Structure 1
Amino acid sequence: MLNIADTLYRWCREARPFALATVIEVSGSAPLPPGTALAVDTDGNAVGSISGGCVEGAVYELCEQVLESDETPVRASFGYSDDDAFAVGLTCGGELTVLVQRIDPTDQPHLANTLEQASDGVPLSVAQVVDGPPRLVGRTLSVLGGGSAYDGTLGSRRTDHTVADRVRALLRAGRTARVEVGGDADTCPEKLTLLVHTQAPQPRMLIFGAVDFAAALSQAGHFLGYRVTVCDARPVFATAERFPHADEVVADWPHRYLESAEVDARTVICVLTHDAKFDIPLLRSALGLPVGYVGAMGSRRTHEHRLERLREAGVPAEHLARLRSPIGLDLGAHTAEETAISITAEIIAHTNRGTGLPLSRVPGPIHGRVPADEAPAPSELLAV
């Protein structure tokens, strides 16, 4: 639906009911991906496309039927027909499944706010129930504010929290995907299949210091879906040949590059130089930015000296508290590759509000994390 957010927002603002046809599953060489949508309003106006033309007419008629009859959401599948290649179907040989639902803007008032933000290019995700209890199919829950808040409800507080946590992970990764949640008492009792529509740029990983650890970390960051930048003030080391997994290699003073870099709440900053002339101006700037993670490499002695210099540079205590140093989790890492796993493990744990403890020591469900204000403290978990 996010591909036609502008028009849908206008229809919601006008309280105009419409039928929304969403591609919820594809296979083979179907022309458009899941999440692509076509909508028809009560005046017969249509917007969007779900197949590049192959089955638009049939889906348009289905939308009109759903609007006129006020039916519950309807599924329809379209695929290639050997008997008649030009019959309603995908002559390209693929198959797609479409969910058609009637949306009354007054029934899902949060949707107008979501579509307005989508029209403005704000990063967000919308979880749409595509399979589950009939009363919930077609319902949506939106994760906004870079993942800090959600809007809408799927029936219960625990279900909403469970879904929101799963959706945040996809928002951080910038991915649209189908996910399954629930089916057990610990998360939500009803099993739901969700299509999560995501509008988000690829998250950034900024690595400062063109060292061997940076080569391994850039590979790990690339694997996790980050857009990776390696920056170093020394041109002889900051070369694309040394960092083939980085999307960008920059030869510039780190703090100067960061001042002009585009960052957001999903950005992670890893400082691997452990050289005061680079670290102090860089961290002074980084710790004041609204980014998701700031970590710095070095021994505990280096860390203490670094904190002292940062205090002298006027960095407030609340900013210093954000610094993850020494960087990474205690995995007993020695090699550059092991250190990269240690660092990315801490980033994942911090981003997903994980404890960093072995799952064998953490009670409760593995997925579907409880709200932060209800979660036990790590010290309580260690005592289990």
Structure 2
Amino acid sequence: MLNIADTLHRWCREQRPFALATVVNVSGSAPLPVGTSVAVDAVGTAVGSISGGCVEGAVYELCQQVLHHQQAPQRAWFGYSDEDAFAIGLTCGGELDVLVQRIDPATCPHLTTALTDAAEGRATAVAQVVDGPAHLLGGHHTLNSGGALSSTDLDADTSRMVATQARAVLRTGRTARSTLGGTAATCPDPLTVLVHVAATRPRLLIFGAIDFAAALSQVGRFLGFQVTVCDARPVFATSARFPHADEVVVDWPHRYLERTTVDERTAICVLTHDAKFDIPLLRRALTLPVGYVGAMGSRRSHEERLRLLEEAGVTAGHLAALHSPIGLDLGAHTPEETALSITAEIIAHTNGASGLPLSQRTGPIHRTAAPGSAKGPTPFPARSGGGGTGGRRRPAALGVRELP
């Protein structure tokens, strides 16, 4: 839903009802992730995409039906059709579970507030009920600025439970499903919420004002990072040399790191390969709750760096978190190739992926993390190309039912 926050924010301000189709579950090689939405207004204007094109027509028609006839929320399943390659379905072999519902902005002002925050770049979370008691299905519950849940139809205990989960998912920076309750001590009826997250840009801290840092700052900016370049040498650390950085800082690296703000989504790249900068910087970086720490240098430099860090009192557990030599083995030589190698490793680490060629892996190409298992930084909003092979092929071209 928050992938089209700009438009939905405008429609809500104009009090314009619309139908919202949201991917609430995926399996196999689905082309777009959970939480992606399409919206259609009363005059037929459509925004967003949920499949890269292969089921958009069917979803559009279902949105029109739900909107104009003011129907209850409906569920649609789209999957691969073995019998007819041209049937409505996903030829990539994946399956999408889509929830379609009518949204009337006049009845949910808290959703308008969340969409405003997302459209203006502020962090926000919206918990959408996608499974559970019939009267709660499709409900949107938002975190307010104080971290409490804005909701009108959840009891106090359920509201606190959903708020706790929404705050946890917001900290990871990625949209995720969570199943809550199901026990007498909490909520007797299990409730599944899809927590939509609009996160602020994660930070990429680059230490060392060298050519590799210039290329890395450009790629990092492209991927959605808030990029900082820091170096103690004012002649090299200039905005003119790093036009793609959001911030260029002249300071000793370890001193800057001690005073700046980092979190679990922050990536730190140490490119100086100079012990007088590296050792105090890495000694500090490896103790921080950040998503990624990498250091540039040859294998010989790496061994010497480990020795010096051990002498400086860095524990074996902290040293194990260091990515050094930095980057994946792409055979990179130029600064631009090296920047791709580094960011590829950050992405792989973020998603718990192997970094192997897809041709050497089996199973679905697009993998979905278990709820609450998000790990490391989330450098950019999830994007995927269409298609892909692999995964199970299960017939079920299209199924639609009105929810009870």
- Interval containing the TM-score (normalised by the shorter chain): 0.5 to 0.7
The equivalent of 1:148 in structure 2 is: 147
Q: 1-side partners of 2:69 and 2:254: how far apart?
A: 61
What secondary structure sits across from 2:136 in the alignment?
Answer: coil
The equivalent of 1:11 in structure 2 is: 11
Say whether the 8 Å CA contact 2:54–2:90 is kept in structure 1: yes
Q: 2-side partners of 1:251 and 1:173: how far apart?
A: 30
The equivalent of 1:68 in structure 2 is: 68
Report the alpha carbon displacement of residue 130 of structure 1 after superposing the two structures with TM. 0.4
Name the % identity.
Answer: 60
The equivalent of 2:325 in structure 1 is: none
The equivalent of 1:336 in structure 2 is: 315
Say whether the 8 Å CA contact 1:54–1:89 is kept in structure 2: yes
What secondary structure sits across from 2:52 in the alignment?
Answer: coil
Name the TM-score, length of structure 1 as normaliser.
0.56
Structure 2: state its 5+ residue gaps: 208-225, 233-248, 267-276, 282-287, 291-312, 321-371, 373-404
Structure 1: state its 5+ residue gaps: 209-226, 234-249, 269-277, 283-291, 295-333, 342-366, 368-384
The equivalent of 2:158 in structure 1 is: 159
Say whether the 8 Å CA contact 2:121–2:200 is kept in structure 1: no
Say whether the 8 Å CA contact 1:140–1:153 is kept in structure 2: no
After superposing on structure 2, the runs of 4+ consecutive aligned residues of structure 1 that deviate more than 4 Å are 201-206, 258-261, 264-268, 337-341
The equivalent of 2:25 in structure 1 is: 25
Q: CA 1:3–1:183 in structure 2 vs 1: closer, same or farther (change >3 Å)?
A: same
Q: 1-side partners of 2:87 and 2:204: how far apart?
A: 48
The equivalent of 2:97 in structure 1 is: 97
Q: 2-side partners of 1:102 and 1:110: how far apart?
A: 16
Amino acid at match of 2:174: R
What secondary structure sits across from 1:183 in the alignment?
Answer: coil
Q: 1-side partners of 2:194 and 2:142: how far apart?
A: 12
Q: CA 1:93–1:166 in structure 2 vs 1: closer, same or farther (change >3 Å)?
A: same
The equivalent of 1:253 in structure 2 is: 252
Q: CA 1:21–1:257 in structure 2 vs 1: closer, same or farther (change >3 Å)?
A: same
Whether 1:184 and 2:183 are equivalent positions in the alignment is yes
C-alpha RMSD of the superposition = 4.0
Say whether the 8 Å CA contact 1:25–1:98 is kept in structure 2: yes
Corresponding pairs, count: 250
Name the TM-score, length of structure 2 as normaliser.
0.53
Say whether the 8 Å CA contact 1:173–1:202 is kept in structure 2: no
The equivalent of 1:85 in structure 2 is: 85
What secondary structure sits across from 1:135 in the alignment?
Answer: helix
Alignment of 1:356-367 (within 5 A): none
Say whether the 8 Å CA contact 2:172–2:265 is kept in structure 1: no
Alignment of 1:128-139 (within 5 A): 128-139=128-139
Q: 2-side partners of 1:195 and 1:135: how far apart?
A: 16
The equivalent of 2:199 in structure 1 is: 200
Report the alpha carbon displacement of residue 41 of structure 1 after superposing the two structures with TM. 0.9
Alignment of 1:297-308 (within 5 A): none
What secondary structure sits across from 2:44 in the alignment?
Answer: coil
Amino acid at match of 1:28: G
Say whether the 8 Å CA contact 1:178–1:196 is kept in structure 2: yes
What secondary structure sits across from 2:160 in the alignment?
Answer: helix
Q: 2-side partners of 1:232 and 1:339: how far apart?
A: 24
Report the alpha carbon displacement of residue 20 of structure 1 after superposing the two structures with TM. 0.3
Q: 2-side partners of 1:149 and 1:339: how far apart?
A: 35
Whether 1:106 and 2:106 are equivalent positions in the alignment is yes
Q: Give the number of the structure with larger relative contact order, counting CA–CA contacts within 8 Å between residues 6 or more apart.
A: 2
Report the alpha carbon displacement of residue 251 of structure 1 after superposing the two structures with TM. 10
Q: CA 1:151–1:51 in structure 2 vs 1: closer, same or farther (change >3 Å)?
A: same
